[in-house]
Amino acid sequence: LARLDIREGRAAEALATLESVLGVAERSGSVREQADVLNAMGAAHLRLGQPTKALAAYRGAFDLAHGVAQRSLELAALEGMA
């Protein structure tokens, strides 16, 4: 739903949801889920005109994805940073 919120212009609402989901992913230890959420957070920050925060989210996503060899998530992070 957060990704839909971002596409529909509700990036601030999406970020609130994503921050909550990120906490759950961190507590569960799901690195793949954390990287996926961080990529979505990067997109939300870009939509809100916050490139520095977007870059930090995408870098975090890339680092996590790279560590567990999740190439599709690495690519998504790199595309976000481009």
Gap between the terminal Cα atoms of the chain:
25
User: For the whole model, what pTM was predicted?
Assistant: 0.93
Residue pLDDT, tens place only, 15-59: 999 999 999 999 999 999 999 999 999 999 999 999 999 999 999
Nearest by Cα to 60 from 46, 82, 44, 78: 78
